[in-house]
Amino acid sequence: MAEPRVMDIKDQPGFRSIAIICLLVLYIPVLILMIFSFNSGSLVTHWEGVTLNWYGSAFLNEEFHSAAKNTLIISVTATIVSTICATLAAIGMTRVKPWRGLAAAFMIINLPLMVPEIITAVATLSFFALIAGTLGLNFGIGNLIFAHTVFCIPFAYMPIRARLEDMDLTLEYAAADLYATPWNAFKRITLPLLVPGIMSGAALAFIVSFDDFTITQLVAGPGQTTLPLYIWNQIRRPMTPEINAISTILLLVSILFVSVSFLIARRRAK
Amino acid sequence: MGTRIESLPRSCQADRLMVTIKTGTHLPTRAGALNGVIVPEQPGKNAIEVRGVRKVFGTGENQVAALDTVSVSIRENEFFTLLGPSGCGKTTLLRLIAGFDFPTAGEILLHGQDIAPLPPYKRPVNTVFQSYALFPHMTVAQNIGFGLEMLGKPKAEIEARVAQMLKLVKMEALKARRTSQISGGQQQRVALARALAPQPKVLLLDEPLSALDYKLRKEMQIELKRLQHETGITFIFVTHDQEEALTMSDRIAVMSAGKILQVGTPRDIYDRPAERFVADFIGETNFLPGTVVSKQGGVATVKFASSATISAGYPEGFDPTGEVTLVVRPEHADLVADPAKGTIAGTLSNIVYFGTDTHYHVKLDGGDNFIVRHQNSRSSPVTYATGAKVGIQFEEDAARVLKD
Amino acid sequence: MTTATLSPTPLSPQPLSKAALFEAQAVKAGARRNRLLSLPALIIIGIFGVLPLIIICVYSFLVAAPYGGVQWQFSTDAYLNFLFQRDIFDDTLQFTPDFLIIYLRSFLFAVVTTIICLLLGFPTAYFMATRPPAQRNWWVLLITIPFWSNLLVRTLAIMFIIRDEGLINDALLALGVIEKPITMLYTNFAIQLGLLYAFLPFMVLPLYSSLEKLDFRLVEAAYDLYATRRQVLWRVIIPLSKPGIIAGCLLVFIPALGAYVTPLILGGGVHLMIGDLIAQQFGSGRNWPLGCAQALILMAAVLVALFFYVRNTSGKVQHG
């Protein structure tokens, strides 16, 4: 080294290179996939020129439309229901005097995170088959909405709970001291301060529902194709860059929602 | 009437009245505002009466009594301080009055009405929190108006009152700021204004100055006294800082281990501590062992090991006999070069210079240590050297007999 | 005046004050309200999350219906079939390790994935944690994005690169290093690569959150006491970040063991992992009880791992 440097006690040799390699490894394949969505040739891997045609053909594709519609119906409903449930549960379970069954309730909320997805998938499939067979119940696309809501709840729950735990309990004491009834204190103090956590939770719930493949694939009935299922169906046919275009759209949606959730969480940390 | 632990200032001796009044920090216009002067008891004028209050936290084996049967009366328009080390129960008592916790036994009367079973939002009592607890999503003005808004006051009234409060705490210029955009001292003022805006019967202050730096704390001490004077509201102030308590309070309750040990004016507490803990916790103190020889009219004659005797007052309702402990403040004693001329004698072991005064550490002939504080002046005639034999003289009424 | 009063509890000899009664009532009302608030979430997860798990426990003791589904007839065949096959001629049980091999292979995949992720993830997380705060946020965002991105699409991206006519083979052919494309897709290598790619962020984030809290004055103290860089790393930093290491390993190991998408796309149905095996029983295999039994055996393995985790962190749960 030409210029002598003061030893930084935090540095460990080689760690910087490994970190950069990890980042490159994580991003290069995805970036290549995105770049080829602009390929004017009809092959997924051989570059021929720049075009936006594949996005055009994706948007004109009927199957893509119905898959996108299904995905949005399921994700939006599951997000709303799970966020409401998770918010209520977080309020009932965080910073409270321990009530009987609280520990069990906490385990149940977190259960969907601990069970491997494939087990949840076959269990849910068996469940809906059973109630269809014995009770004649079939909620149609509702089956998928219920299944998604279950695993969305813990994802929505985590940031809301974290936000509540960070919240200064004396603020609520102060509100009560200033003549706010419990409901007024909640409406005027707790809820406004909880909003970033709820938004962050809703964003995470939306992503996991929007991206879900395993559970959807096993539980979905005919005509309930979602975007990830649509991509899976395309893989098994001769592929064109249209699939890259659709994949890129999915990735951009994920990135958008992660960033939103991330930025909300960061702002609260300040 | 419930049991009253406070020692009534009536027991003071007459000559105490001649003590000079410190100026600056308090206002001699109101009853009870004069440090060192007997505050006449005003029956039926109690703002808060705490009667036999116990507070037990936890259940079963883990039960801890944070307050052990405490009774105290706090008068109207009084600046009353709960003083004690951390964990003594002072904050618990404050929280019981505010309504954040509820007593296991006993009553808390506000103007004669038991408020202990009321939730905090039904009590005409407001709190200034140690952390200020300002609502971060509201402006300064919205914070101040919150209490009035919750009371359902008309908008015009709220606006007028908020403006008045902003003026009172000198925060008009910053009314539209978010609370995160103002300094610690300013937050403190907003917290005060917010708690005063609904015109509570009693204002509770939970170590509100502890987060401020030294200079700002001194400023706010004066500010608090001014606010209390201008609003005429009863202040109950919690602190562990004895100096703060002495300079600001009309009366102080000294607490330890869930009990109130002594209630009195700052001068009462300082000059006539009833118990060893009180004497030790407030100011610097010398403890001397002695034997009671006789007593008459609230004054005991106590003999030292050196067979010298001294007359010393003792707490009301206490009958000192046999071996007792005497307390003497370092500034109430003086050194004399001739050991024979002192009431007690010893060897000067250390001299510590403090600028305004000098501390002389004396190893007494009986083996105890004694500290004499001597105010420095340009014309200090005598100089002492360590190792010299010296005598110690006591001022009139310098010694007090302690309860234990 | 004959009624003898019983003291309600021996611990409070005094009668409860009005305030204490009020408090007791408020606490009770609060508990009731909190329970009610938690109920919607618990009911949804209870019915559509917990009940299905109970159902597959029941199903695993039933007989398969010919076209999928179950017949309500008790049988332990599903578990027997896991290790044995019934000979159709003489009805004897023969040891058939096919499923066991798939489980062991999945275990091996998961272990290798965990180790390599740790070897790559620890330096990355450490490097991130030692950046200035502003830079640190960008690093965390860059690792968080793949953490939450669509796994199917990310796996697809790997597939495009390692195909016979993919970028790697094209590049090697163009450089003349090879004459014929190397077959990488639909091999064990492809699955291993896919698992690493999928779960690397799952290792980095919990490690980071643990290392971020590291008190670097301890590192200074170690240097002050003549430790070398290597000694500081092994004797101070790694022991202090043990909770993060365990959490990260678990967050990689459990989903890797039950991986479904990765072997489905990159293994091409040739090289199965547990996840595909289970799904197969519900699809072409048409043996739901066997699938349920296989799922429960996987669940047991996960529970063992979780038990290990809980015991090692003594109640402190860390989220990534």
**Which tens digit of pLDDT belongs to each residue from A60-100?**
889 999 999 999 999 999 999 999 999 999 999 998 888 99
Question: Residue A202 is part of a domain; what is its CATH number?
Answer: 1.10.3720.10
Determine the Cα–Cα distance for residues C252 and A38; give it in Å rounded to an integer.
34
Minimal CA separation from B251 to chain A, in Å: 25
Say how many domains are in chain A.
Answer: 1
* C23 lies within 8 A of chain B by CB: yes
Query: How many CB atoms sit inside 10 A of residue A236's CB?
Result: 7
Within 1-20 of C, beta carbons closer than 8 Å to A belong to none
Minimal CA separation from A84 to chain B, in Å: 22
Query: How many CB atoms sit inside 10 A of residue B393's CB?
Result: 14
Mean pLDDT of all residues in B370-399:
82
What does the block give as tokens for A21? 């390699």
Mean pLDDT of all residues in A10-28:
91
What does the block give as tokens for B341? 């001329």
Indicate whether A44 belongs to any domain.
no
Least confident of B375-379, C110-114, C302-306: B375-379
pLDDT of residue A5: 54
Indicate whether A22 belongs to any domain.
no
Are B94 and B206 a contacting pair, CB within 8 Å? yes
Q: Is the pLDDT of residue C271 over 70?
A: yes
Indicate whether A215 belongs to any domain.
yes
Query: How many CB atoms sit inside 10 A of residue A252's CB?
Result: 12
CATH code, residues B285-401: 2.40.50.140
Q: What domains, with CATH codes, occur in chain C? A: 98-313 (1.10.3720.10)
Determine the Cα–Cα distance for residues A137 and A160; give it in Å rounded to an integer.
34
Domain residue spans in chain B?
9-124+200-277, 285-401
Determine the Cα–Cα distance for residues B372 and B369; give it in Å rounded to an integer.
10
- Show which subunits contact C, needing at least 3 CB pairs below 8 angstroms: A, B
* A168 lies within 8 A of chain B by CB: yes
pLDDT tens profile C25-50: 998 999 999 999 999 999 999 999 99
Determine the Cα–Cα distance for residues C260 and C264; give it in Å rounded to an integer.
6
Contacts of C283 (CB under 8 A, 6+ apart): none
Q: Is the pLDDT of residue C149 over 60?
A: yes
Q: Is the pLDDT of residue A263 over 90?
A: no
Domain span at residue A196 reads 57-269
The model's confidence at residue C257, banded by pLDDT at 50, 70 and 90, is: very high
Are C152 and C261 a contacting pair, CB within 8 Å? yes
Minimal CA separation from A256 to chain B, in Å: 26
pLDDT of residue B310: 85
Are A211 and C150 a contacting pair, CB within 8 Å? yes
* A231 lies within 8 A of chain C by CB: yes
Indicate whether A211 belongs to any domain.
yes
Residue to mutate among C51, C70, C153, C290, with most A CBs inside 10 A, is: C153
| CB < 8 Å to B119, chain C | 26
- Across the interface, do C15 and B106 touch by the CB < 8 Å criterion? no
Mean pLDDT of all residues in A50-59:
87
Minimal CA separation from B109 to chain C, in Å: 12
Indicate whether A95 belongs to any domain.
yes
- Across the interface, do B105 and C15 touch by the CB < 8 Å criterion? yes
The greatest distance separating any two alpha carbons of chain B, rounded to the nearest whole angstrom, comes to: 78
What does the block give as tokens for A247? 């994949």
Burial of residue C72 (number of CB atoms within 10 Å: 0-12, 13-18, 19+): exposed
Instruction: Give φ, ψ of B347 to 5 degrees.
Output: -115, 135
The model's confidence at residue A7, banded by pLDDT at 50, 70 and 90, is: low
* A169 lies within 8 A of chain B by CB: no
Instruction: Give φ, ψ of B265 to 5 degrees.
Output: -70, 160
Looking at chain A, which residue has its C-alpha nearest residue C227? A9
Task: Return the exposure string of C92-115: e unless at least 16 CB atoms fall within 10 Å of the residue's CB, then b.
Answer: eeeeeeebeebbebbbebbeebbe
CATH code, residues B9-124+200-277: 3.40.50.300
- Across the interface, do C11 and B108 touch by the CB < 8 Å criterion? no
pLDDT tens profile A220-236: 988 899 999 999 998 88
Q: What is the ipTM of this complex?
A: 0.90
Minimal CA separation from B344 to chain C, in Å: 51
Query: How many CB atoms sit inside 10 A of residue C228's CB?
Result: 11
- Across the interface, do B56 and C12 touch by the CB < 8 Å criterion? yes
- Across the interface, do C42 and A105 touch by the CB < 8 Å criterion? yes
Q: Is the pLDDT of residue A2 over 60?
A: no
Are C153 and A213 a contacting pair, CB within 8 Å? no
Burial of residue B65 (number of CB atoms within 10 Å: 0-12, 13-18, 19+): middle
pLDDT tens profile B15-31: 333 333 333 333 333 33
- Across the interface, do B104 and C17 touch by the CB < 8 Å criterion? yes
pLDDT of residue C12: 45
Indicate whether A115 belongs to any domain.
yes
The torsion of the CA quartet A44, A48, A50, A54, rounded to 10 degrees, works out to -30
- Across the interface, do A118 and C298 touch by the CB < 8 Å criterion? yes
The amino acid present at B114, given as its one-letter code, is D
Determine the Cα–Cα distance for residues A208 and B17; give it in Å rounded to an integer.
78
Tell me the β-bridge partners of A232: none
Helical pair C151-162 and C167-175, crossing angle rounded to 10 deg: 20
Q: Residue A168: which of B119, B125, B133 has the nearest Cβ? A: B133
Mean pLDDT of chain C: 87
